[in-house]
Each structure stands twice: as structure tokens, then as C-alpha cells.
Amino acid sequence: MRFVSVPADPGIIRLPWSTPLMDWPDEHLVSLPRGISRHVVRFIRLGGHVYALKEAEERYVLREHRLLRDLNRLDVPSVEAVGVVLDRTTPDGEDLQPMLLTRHLSFSLPYRAVFSQRLRADTVERLIDALAALLVRLHLAGFFWGDCSLSNTLFRRDAGAFAAYLVDAETGELHNDLSPGQRSHDLDTAHTNIFGELLDLQAGGLVPEDVDLLAPADSVVERYERLWAELTEAEEFDTGELHRLDSRIRRLNDLGFDVAELDISTDFDGRHIRIQPKVVDAGHHARRLLRLTGLEVEENQARRLLNDLDAYRAGTDQQGEDEEIVAHEWLTGVFEKVVQAVPHELRGKLEPAELFHEVLEHRWYLSEAAGTEIPLTRATQSYIQTVLRNRPDEKTRLPSEDDLPSLAEIDP
């Protein structure tokens, strides 16, 4: 056997590599829901981390390993490839397929763990929004997916929305830029795959018969095209409308993107201006929060936490103080107090940033009902007892696919 870039943990040698992955004993496996895959996929725990193992032909394993590492380098949302295992054989000398190891994305959900019999329409919209945004980011980075689908995506909660991560790159290609035809091919594939996956869920009784399944498939194309146009299309205006330049940048920031460069040109008489974003980077709010607090969170979570930080700054009359000093005070005196109030046995329910967002939401509802501002400490305890205790554990132990209907009790 050959191990390439695998985790430096002695326990990896003791795993049953000479056994087909389908036949690995339960003692080595972690029970997590899996999406649909053409290959055998299993989860293991090793050295305090959870990894996904996928068995496939060597050319696919090596190619996907390289592509996933490239996507991580480009900071595109995707699972992290940590190694490959080659030259596997059984004790009798029979060849076995190589394996790709990826790090399990904590608090992530395959789409089958989100869709349920009583699925809310806005939850479908949030999933489609996340998938469309992921596809735009991939295309901006020059990545042709080739098999965009719900099955090849993982979703993490993001302050009431979802953030999408690519989980299968074996059909992908990385280019300097994508042609309109390549982007269109990915969109057509996404449309077909999403409609087929929803039909499969409906046939399995996880989606009601009266739900229009074509609408979400159509929606991912529409949402992709709107976002792509906002990020890349040129805009023209008169020199007396320079405020539109600032408005364009603000709209991009609100979408979570930074403008690294603008191509600005004027016509021959200097009366009209044409602007076009040249390079846009995602994660505007997440980068600001990371700089101020050291917290690494999803984009919408960062936006919500920054809003609370700004409210804290105003509420404590510290608008004139250094932003980083106030941010540290908010981090230790507000955010961390909420997170630390959660009992140890419940800390796998939600990641800290999503937990804090839900506490703020719960506090707002309590305050509305009471007609007065409820203290954050009281709202936190109420949330823990009445909401958090009833949620499934989303860190590494999720219900199996057989338990999916029960997920309908929890609002996604």
C-alpha cells in the first residue's frame, strides 16, 4: 500500500485497508447520513477528526484529490482533501480500488437530511440560493463542475440561510476562465439533476405530491443568472450620477463580495462612464469579522454578528472608541458568554455562530411577546431549554436516513 498526504496518525495503519470499503466492520465507522453517490462512501473517526472515505478508480481518486486541493487554495467552498491510499490488495493478492480521504465538514447536512415531508417552501428557496451562489463562485474561479447537483453538495446553516459546499469534484475541470458554453452546460446539468433528485424524494414520500418540483429547478438557473449579472456585467451612467458607482460597490458588498478592481472608462466627450467589476472576492463580512474577532464563520453569520457588534457599540456609547477594542469587549462579554452558557452535552447541536444567531432570533420573539426588551442572559437560558434541547446533533452524529421524517419536527 502507498499512503499519500494522509493524516499523520498511527491509527491509520491499523485500519482494514485490505478489505473492500463496503465490508469494513462497524467498529471503524461513524454513522452519518450520506448523499447519493456512484461510489462506496463511508465515514471514520481518526485522531479526533472525522473523515469521509471514497473508493474509486485510481485516475479518478488522484484527479479529484488534486482538484479539491486546488479549490481549497482558491478559497472556494469545498470539502478538504487530506490524502489518498493506493496499491491496495486483499490478503489473497486481489487488487482493490484506491481511496480518497476528505475531512468531514462539521455541522454540514446532505440535502436528504434537510428535505422532509413537511418541508417549508422558503427552505427550498434557501437551498437553491445557496447552490446558485456556489455555482457562481466556482465559475468565477474558473471551475467547470460537470455534475452540479444537490447530491454533490453539502449545506451548512448560515444565520437562517444555507451555505453550500462542493463535495464531489471528480467530473470537474479547472481553467483560467470559463466560456459561456461551459457555464451554460453546468446550468443545464444543475437544472436536470435537481428536478430528478426532487422527483426521487417525492417518489420516496419525502416531498408531498402537490409540490411543484420544476419551479426549484427553474429557480436555480434564474438566481444564478441574476447573481452572475450583478457581479460581472458592465454598467453605464452619466458623470452626474457618480453615486451609482458607490451603489454598485455597496450592492456587491451586501451580496458578500468585495471588488478588488474596477474597470472604469469614459466616452469621447467625458459625459458617460462605464464600469465593470474585474475581480470579485466572496466573504466581505466574514473577512471583516475575522479581522476584528478572530472568528471564522459563514458570510450571513458574519453579517449578523457584525450587526450585533454595531448595536453593542451604540448601546454602550463607544462609537468613538477603536473598533478592534470594542470588538474584543463584545467577543468576551457577549458572544462567548452565550456560547459558554450551553451545557457541554448540547454543544454538538449547532456551531457557535449559528447558535448565537438563533439566540438573537429567540430573544427578539420573546421581547415582541413581552412588549419589552428581554435580557440576553434570560433569552439564552430560554433558548437552551425550549429550543436547543430538541434539536438533532449536527456536528458528527446526525439521524440516519431512516429517521428523516422526524426531521420535519425541526424547522430547517
At 334 the pLDDT is 95
At 120 the pLDDT is 60
Cell readout for 9 is 496518525
* pLDDT tens readout for residues 275-316: 776 655 677 788 889 889 999 899 889 989 998 998 898 888
Query: Higher-confidence residue: 328 or 259?
Result: 328
Instruction: Report the candidate in 97, 83, 59, 86 with the shortest Cα–Cα distance to residue 2.
Output: 86
* pLDDT tens readout for residues 95-125: 999 999 999 988 888 888 776 545 566 777 8
At 265 the pLDDT is 74
Q: Which string of b and e fits 342-355 if b means at least 16 CB within 10 Å?
A: beeeebbbbbbbbb
Query: Higher-confidence residue: 157 or 395?
Result: 157
Give me the helices (H) in 233-283, please: 243-254
Q: What's the longest Cα–Cα distance across the chain?
A: 81
Fold of 2-103: Phosphorylase Kinase; domain 1 (3.30.200)
pLDDT band at 85 (very low <50, low <70, confident <90, very high): very high
Query: Poorest-confidence range of 162-166, 210-214, 304-308?
Result: 210-214
Share the mean pLDDT of the chain.
85
pLDDT band at 27 (very low <50, low <70, confident <90, very high): confident
DSSP secondary structure letters along 282-338:
E-HHHHHHHHHH-----HHHHHHHHHHHHHHHHHTT-TTS-HHHHHHHHIIIIIHHH
At 111 the pLDDT is 85
pLDDT band at 405 (very low <50, low <70, confident <90, very high): very low
Phi and psi based region of residue 107 (left: phi greater than 0; alpha: psi -120 to 50; beta: remaining): left
Fold of 108-231: Transferase(Phosphotransferase); domain 1 (1.10.510)
Neighbours of 237 (CB within 10 A): 16
**Taking a C-beta distance cutoff of 8 angstroms, is the pair 191, 220 a contact?**
yes
Q: Which string of b and e fits 296-316 if b means at least 16 CB within 10 Å?
A: ebbbbbbbbbbebbeebbeee
Cα 235 to the center of its chain, rounded Å = 30
The SS3 call for residue 130 is: helix
User: pLDDT above 70 covers what percent of the chain?
Assistant: 88
* pLDDT tens readout for residues 47-65: 878 899 999 999 999 999 9
Query: Higher-confidence residue: 187 or 402?
Result: 187
**Taking a C-beta distance cutoff of 8 angstroms, is the pair 12, 3 a contact?**
yes
pLDDT of residue 397 exceeding 60 = no
Instruction: Report the candidate in 137, 77, 183 with the shortest Cα–Cα distance to residue 279.
Output: 137
Burial-class residue 110 by CB neighbours within 10 Å (0-12, 13-18, 19+): buried
The mean pLDDT of 3-11, rounded to a whole number, is 83
Q: Using alpha carbons only, what angle is made at residue 74 by residues 279 and 152, rounded to the nearest 5 degrees? A: 110
DSSP secondary structure letters along 178-203:
--HHHHHHHHHHHHHHHHHHHHHHHH
* pLDDT tens readout for residues 187-200: 999 999 999 988 88
Amino acid at 47: G
CA–CA separation, 313 vs 307, rounded Å? Answer: 10
pLDDT band at 255 (very low <50, low <70, confident <90, very high): confident
Domain map (residue ranges) of the chain: 2-103, 108-231, 234-282, 299-390
pLDDT of residue 412 exceeding 80 = no
Q: Which residues pair with 64 in a beta bridge?
A: none
